[in-house]
A = this chain, B = another copy of it.
Amino acid sequence: MKFHTEYLVFHTPAHREYVHITQKVEAIVNKSGIKEGMVLVSAMHITAGVYVNDDESGLIEDIDQWLEELAPFNQDYRHHGTGETNGDSHLKALLIHHQVIVPITAGKLDFGPWQRIFYAEFDGQRDKRVIVKVMGE
Chain A residues with a Cβ under 8 A of chain B = 1, 3, 5, 36-38, 40, 42-46, 51-54, 56-59, 61-63, 66, 70-71, 77-82, 87, 90-91, 93-101, 103, 105, 110-112, 114-115, 129, 131, 133, 135-137
Contact = CB atoms under 8 A, between A and B. Distances in A.
A115 B57 CA distance: 30
Number of copies: 3
Contacts of A52: 46, 98
Contacts of A133: 38, 103, 105, 110
A90 B78 contact: no
25 contacts: A3-B36, A5-B110, A38-B133, A40-B101, A42-B103, A43-B112, A44-B115, A45-B114, A45-B115, A46-B114, A51-B94, A54-B79, A56-B82, A58-B78, A58-B79, A58-B80, A61-B78, A62-B77, A62-B87, A95-B95, A98-B100, A101-B101, A105-B133, A110-B133, A135-B136
